[in-house]
Structure 1
Amino acid sequence: MTKAQIEAEIAELKSDYVRIQGDVEKATSFSVNTSAGEKKLIEIEERLAELNKQLDEIE
Structure 2
Amino acid sequence: MDKNQIEEAIVELKDEYIQLQNNLEKLESINGNLAPLEKRLTEIEGELKVLHEKRRR
* TM-score of the two chains, using structure 2 as the length reference: 0.98
Match in the other structure for 1:25 = 25
Q: CA deviation at 1:33?
A: 1.1
Counterpart of 1:46 in structure 2 is: 46
Tell me the secondary structure at the aligned position of residue 32 of structure 2: coil
Deviations 1:4-58 (A, max 9, x none): 000000000000000011001100011111000000000000000000000011x
Note the residue ranges of structure 1 that are not aligned, 5 or more in a row.
none
Detail structure 1 runs of 4+ shifted over 3 Å in the superposition.
none
| 2:18 partner letter | V
Cα RMSD of the aligned pairs, angstroms, is 0.4
Structure 2, unaligned stretches of length 5 or more? none
Query: What TM-score comes out, normalization by structure 1 length?
Result: 0.95
The answer to whether 1:8 aligns with 2:8 is: yes
Identity %: 40
What is the SS of the residue equivalent to 1:4?
Answer: helix
